[in-house]
Structure 1
Amino acid sequence: MMSRTQPLKAQAGEPAAAPMARYAMLWRWHFYAALFVMPLLIVLGITGTIYLYKPQIEAIAYPSQLYVTPEDAPRLPQQTLYDIARDSTPGGVPILTAEIHNAPDRSAQFTYLDPVEGKSSIFLNPYTGEVLAKMPTLNFNATYWIGLARQIHRGLLLGKTGEIIMELAACWTLIMIGTGVALWWPRRKKGLKQAVIPDVKKKGRPFWREIHATMGIVLALGALFFVTSGLPWTSTWGAQFKQLVAQVNLGYPPDPPGATSARHEGHEGHEGHEGQPAAPTRVQDLPLDKTAWGAGLLTVPQSAVSAGQTASAHAHAGHQDAGSDTDPAHQAGRPVGQDHDAHGAHGAAQMDMNGDMSMSGDHNMHAMPAEPVTLDQIMTLAQSSHIPDEYSIALPANRNGVYSVSYYPGDPTGEKVINVDQYSGKVINGVSYNEYGVIAKIISFAVSLHMGTYFGWVNQLLCAIIALGLCAMAVTGFVMWWKRRPAGGLGAPRIPDTLPNMRGWMIGLVVFGLIFPVTGLSMLVVWLLDRWYLARYRRQNGLAANTV
């Protein structure tokens, strides 16, 4: 793994020998970090930029699916559109969510689980009910190519293994940033101007070093934010982190009473057994695009449901599975009887001091109609709850389930989820930004900034500059390495004659490794290999066996 390198020698009596030696050792760690991170940074930068511009790219790539010509006639009722979509799914599989877009030129969209293609969307003309398209959406995204970019960004399409690789890449990027700033730091004596304006008069490798160093110091803070804001989404460290903050009541509200976790690492908490969708009931499973957290799992007590049913419906309730064709609500063409996915809601039940589920308004648990309310009624309720547009309605999972309305605007302070009784149309409970813990609020802001949705196109542009700037850093680093590499060797930075005192750095790296255990293990492997190579090199060259 390690290359044969030459010792870094200082001139006799040179007072800067120790700093030079420290520089050399920091450079080695910077080199090792870059060696691993460089290709992954390019992948992360490109796919991240694609996802940043999701609305613009989708508008260009899928105009016939997402957009229609506005008409003077009113749009069809959402429930009518739902009925058409349900009748148009392959084999009549149930609809999972209704994606609400009220703009006059937007199509109506519903998601379902295709028995062959997996998670898919169906698009309808909201004025005529014409089916515009059906297409797979690749793990809970509106469109296939955007979903592909997201999956590559998250895990290289390698499942759990890819997610761990990307988590390692993120953490090693932090090491690369820290050592890179340390390598640049002596230049501070020459002023800020040289730090931000490269000397383009230099030729060859020094020219590329100027570009690399200048870009690195300019992008350092933005890159640090990008990496740290992405870490809570990782499948190992991120999952543990969210569980920890939830335990100290600084995260998202708790699971609904009686819910069982259907979380599956490596699939963003959304995929159940044998490809069936399973709702992520734990709020720690917040996915990358901030779609909802656990749909349709909050239930109204069965006794309350039965009390409002007709005699026939009551008889069926005790003998039929949820969502079967004999379910009276299903017979009536109402949206019940399916599991849910990433577009469902948080589902967090608010509890009173006695542990009972709180109900808002004058909700009457003993006078429920036999059929669920319509999607149009849910939309009216959403509007009255200050949820104007661009939201998702997850349909009830079964006869005891609820409608879950999820709203995630660019400004995270407006985030809101409400759970609605499917029979009475009353709000059972909900959760909003104000109910988040401190850490959850920070994460929500970080998500919006990371995704470029907080302050519009300027946010997108800044994030794109950072993402593509990191790609450029990887390219310039590669060019520098290519120009200095020895024939047939790795070209690791040279070894100093005398190893310097690096205890401060070593302590910092140990603490970092303890905070990020998976990365810490990889750091230990690299350190042991480096120590082995140094010992071997010194034996061959008769150098003193100093320790770091």
Structure 2
Amino acid sequence: MSTDAEPTARPASEPSAGAASGWRGLVLRLHFYAGLLVGPFLLVAVATGVLYVLTPQLEDWLYSEQLRVEPSTQQLPLADQVRAAVAGGPGGELVAVRPAPEPGATTRVLFDDPALGDSERWTVFVDPGTGEPKGALVTYGTSGVLPLRTTIDQLHRNLMLGEPGRLYSELAASWLWVVALGGVALWVARWRARRAAGRAGVVDLVRPERGVPGRRRLVGPHGALGTWLLLGALFLSATGLTWSTYAGENVAALRASFGWQNPVLQTAVGGEHAAHRAAAAAGGGSGIVDPSLFDSVLGAARAAGIDDGRVEVALPAQVGAAWTVTEVGREWPTQVDAVAVDAASGAVVGEVRFADYPLMAKLTRWGIDAHMGVLFGWVNQLVLVAFGVGMIVLIVLGYRMWWQRRPTGGRAVPRGRLRAAGQPVVFAAVAAALVVGWFAPLFGISLLGFLAVDTVLGRRARRVPQPPRV
């Protein structure tokens, strides 16, 4: 966050705002507006993101009664565990089971309930050794996150305001890469000027400028820290946009047009009377499922190579479809293979292997999981927390710099940088803004607002005589 007015004189070796190129002046102004006005959204997104990354350990402690049991050398069949969950559960439609992935963990039996929100399910936790239900919680999404992380996730995603609230996180993700690239560009320009004057070496690009007075003492830490955080900012901005409302739709359309989508698991059961057999395997249309089918379906999937400890065995979504068994672990190496099993015959009728995903689909999977802090376990969490703390410091330093340079004593800050940049720069900037604004509409709308405000304030500043600086 900077303005293009400096309350103290610069050394002759450093370019002033008035002598800066048109590009530098425009980037400087854009970085200032984005940092000042989008900074609060970024601060909230980063702070809630850090909380989210830390929740797995908090949930293990908070919900230990539901998640952990005494390890048992023998486990009951899934059928017995499912019967216990149905008998002692909250009701609803049985839809899936996640067997205990390791000794000492509980089995999760999942139920749909129309009273719950989108992607929410009742989950009954069952001791696989005794069949005793250990409690029921509402879980969310494919990851099956528990209530604490669900709350923090919704706070991070939409400020607990539902779909309208998602605009805040999309605005933050849309501007994060712009603020990061603009800030680093300004810092590199400053470093090059110091290096040309013999006052900086290569290492000074990534460390604060030393021995400088006043406000410039903050510029160094702000610029150097922003350089360290650049790659993380670009990564989180790109992956964050995949979840957004408007830019996310364009990302999905782009992936579809280039064939970068995840392969679709075929669940149709072929052969004569297939629908009748599938309906019988799912309870004959009565809504009552034979619990023993969970064991046979899982056995068929294991024989077909579904070997990860964390899997979900799901009932058919509709009559005439097969059961599905999907690997749900998200750590490295990634295993998200899935098979479709005809429960009546035990035959595997469809399969999708992560190895067969298109490269871009794999990169998307890895990017999302790394963004959530699960791809590399605690190492991933540690990196994201360090990045988040660094971003919070960066934003606070930016506002401190603005506070020290705010207009005082009747002195206004020069504005209207778009007009002063020159026609070639303006043409290129507008063309780039149109392309990016089409892909990320909230970015385009807010950018137009920034430029309109800058133009109006610039005209007002030119009409009002400015007092001389003291």
Residues 8 and 497 of structure 1 are in contact (CA less than 8 Å); yes or no, is this contact kept in structure 2?
no
**Match of residue 28 from structure 2:** 27
What secondary structure, in the 3-state scheme, does the structure 2 residue paired with 1:374 have? helix
Q: Distance in 1 between matches of 2:213 and 2:82?
A: 65
Q: Distance in 2 between matches of 1:204 and 1:122?
A: 60
Distance 1:490 1:458, change over 3 A: farther
Residues 434 and 444 of structure 2 are in contact (CA less than 8 Å); yes or no, is this contact kept in structure 1?
yes
Distance 1:24 1:493, change over 3 A: farther
**Match of residue 382 from structure 2:** 461
Distance 1:460 1:240, change over 3 A: same
2:290 is aligned with 1:334: yes
Distance 1:394 1:8, change over 3 A: farther
Q: Residue 150 of structure 1 aligns to which amino acid in structure 2?
A: D
Runs of 5+ consecutive residues of structure 2 not aligned to the other structure = none
Q: Distance in 1 between matches of 2:34 and 2:408?
A: 22
What secondary structure, in the 3-state scheme, does the structure 1 residue paired with 2:110 have? strand
Q: Residue 89 of structure 1 aligns to which amino acid in structure 2?
A: G
**Match of residue 100 from structure 1:** 99
Q: Distance in 2 between matches of 1:151 and 1:142?
A: 12
Q: Residue 139 of structure 2 aligns to which amino acid in structure 1?
A: T
Q: Distance in 1 between matches of 2:465 and 2:202?
A: 41
Residues 107 and 128 of structure 2 are in contact (CA less than 8 Å); yes or no, is this contact kept in structure 1?
yes
Q: Residue 175 of structure 2 aligns to which amino acid in structure 1?
A: W
| Larger fraction in helix | 2
1:374 is matched with which residue: 293, 301, 324?
293
2:91 is aligned with 1:171: no
TM-score by length of 2: 0.83
What secondary structure, in the 3-state scheme, does the structure 2 residue paired with 1:102 have? coil
Q: Percent identity?
A: 31
2:324 is aligned with 1:404: yes
**Match of residue 51 from structure 1:** 52
Q: Residue 451 of structure 2 aligns to which amino acid in structure 1?
A: W
Residues 76 and 130 of structure 2 are in contact (CA less than 8 Å); yes or no, is this contact kept in structure 1?
yes
What secondary structure, in the 3-state scheme, does the structure 1 residue paired with 2:186 have? helix
Give the superposition deviation at 1:393: 2.0
1:436 is matched with which residue: 346, 357, 371?
357
**Match of residue 280 from structure 1:** none
**Match of residue 537 from structure 1:** 461
2:248 is aligned with 1:238: yes
Q: Residue 238 of structure 2 aligns to which amino acid in structure 1?
A: T
**Match of residue 439 from structure 2:** 515
Distance 1:131 1:220, change over 3 A: same
What secondary structure, in the 3-state scheme, does the structure 2 residue paired with 1:148 have? helix
- Report which stretch shifted further, 97-106 or 189-198: 189-198
Q: Distance in 2 between matches of 1:516 and 1:47?
A: 23
**Match of residue 81 from structure 2:** 81
2:446 is aligned with 1:447: no
Give the superposition deviation at 1:412: 5.8
2:139 is matched with which residue: 133, 137, 140?
137
Residues 323 and 341 of structure 2 are in contact (CA less than 8 Å); yes or no, is this contact kept in structure 1?
yes
Q: Distance in 2 between matches of 1:61 and 1:426?
A: 41
Q: Distance in 2 between matches of 1:393 and 1:54?
A: 26
2:398 is matched with which residue: 460, 477, 481?
477
1:26-425 → structure 2 map (5 Å cutoff): 26-72=27-73, 74-90=74-90, 92-114=91-113, 116=115, 118=117, 119-138=121-140, 141-186=144-189, 187-188=191-192, 189=195, 190-199=200-209, 205-253=215-263, 298-300=267-269, 304-305=273-274, 308=277, 327=285, 330-331=287-288, 333-334=289-290, 374-384=293-303, 385-407=305-327, 408-411=329-332, 413-425=334-346
Q: Distance in 2 between matches of 1:490 and 1:128?
A: 76
Q: Residue 70 of structure 2 aligns to which amino acid in structure 1?
A: T
TM-score by length of 1: 0.72
Q: Distance in 2 between matches of 1:223 and 1:379?
A: 41
Distance 1:95 1:505, change over 3 A: same
Give the superposition deviation at 1:147: 0.9
Q: Residue 154 of structure 2 aligns to which amino acid in structure 1?
A: Q
What secondary structure, in the 3-state scheme, does the structure 1 residue paired with 2:69 have? coil
Give the superposition deviation at 1:104: 0.8
Distance 1:497 1:431, change over 3 A: closer
User: CA RMSD of the aligned region, Å?
Assistant: 3.6
Give the superposition deviation at 1:446: 1.6
Distance 1:212 1:425, change over 3 A: same
Q: Residue 314 of structure 2 aligns to which amino acid in structure 1?
A: A
- Report which stretch shifted further, 126-135 or 46-55: 46-55
Question: 1:347-399: CA deviations, max 9, x gaps?
Answer: xxxxxxxxxxxxxxxxxxxxxxxxxx621223323333142211222222344
Give the superposition deviation at 1:70: 1.3
What secondary structure, in the 3-state scheme, does the structure 1 residue paired with 2:59 have? helix
Q: How many residue pairs end up in the alignment?
A: 446
Q: Residue 38 of structure 1 aligns to which amino acid in structure 2?
A: G
Q: Distance in 2 between matches of 1:534 and 1:455?
A: 49
Q: Residue 202 of structure 2 aligns to which amino acid in structure 1?
A: L
Q: Distance in 1 between matches of 2:21 and 2:188?
A: 13
